[in-house]
Amino acid sequence: MPPGKRPGPVPFILEVLACAYSSARVVLRYRTPFELLVATVLAAQCTDDRVNQVTPALFVRFPGPEAFAAASLPEIEEAVRPTGFYRNKAGALKGIGSALVARHGGNVPESMEELTALPGVGRKTASVILGACFGVDALPVDTHVGRVSFRLGLTRSKDPARIEEDLVEAVPNGRWDFATQLGWHGRQVCVARQPRCGVCGLSRVCPRNGVTRSA
């Protein structure tokens, strides 16, 4: 490090988050990569809790890609309606089911390229699957990760792709754990409205300490 230059806040942030959320896991409940893929699609514009209420019955009715591929759109729409945007989500799930059967033998592929080629699957969803199911050091940027990163000054952008680039640059490895821990911090402490700065372990390095309301 050049003389006179102080270490940045990233090592401190990593240490505090790792300590506070050492057992952090994906909030969505799933048993297989396919179930996590479905749950992550349903979690768009919906809370994880609501998705967790819907998926147990959904996975009984549609146990795999073949069932989604064979079902009618109205059937799937009815089953996912409580998660909102149900027409788009039902179309994506039917398309994913069909694509998995046609191109991947009914299995969830293990590469970013193949995952993001599935209907309705973006980089964030693909990163969740890669990190949680296949041990890839991925860095999915959801609304919580994006908000906390912005407040901490780890990024100046609110665009998920740019935030991911900034975080990848700041964190050379352990990115999956870091993203999961940032997400939990965003749910429990650095919440969207009225962040709990008074009890936040990162307050001394956070440029938004005490001043953030909704940014």
Catalytic residue among 94, 124, 166, 177: 124
Instruction: CB nearer to ligand SF4: give 98 or 209.
Output: 209
Task: Mark whether 49 is an active-site residue.
Answer: no
User: What is the DSSP secondary-structure string of 75-110?
Assistant: HHHHHHGGGS-HHHHHHHHHHHHHHHHHHHTTS---
Residue tagged active-site, from 142, 158, 159, 177 = 142
Q: Catalytic: 158?
A: no
Which CB sits closer to ligand SF4, 87 or 196?
A: 196
Residue 32 within binding range of ligand SF4, rule CB under 6 A: no
Task: State how far the Cα of 97 lies from the Cα of 157, in Å rounded to an integer.
Answer: 34
- What tokens were used for 18? 């790792």
Per CB under 6 A, the list member of 141, 151, 154, 177 interacting with ligand SF4 is 151
By beta-carbon proximity to ligand SF4, the closer residue of 94 and 208 is 208
Gap between the Cα atoms of 66 and 152, Å rounded: 44
DSSP 63: -
Residues in contact with ligand SF4, total (CB under 6 A)? Answer: 15
Residues recognised as catalytic = 124, 142
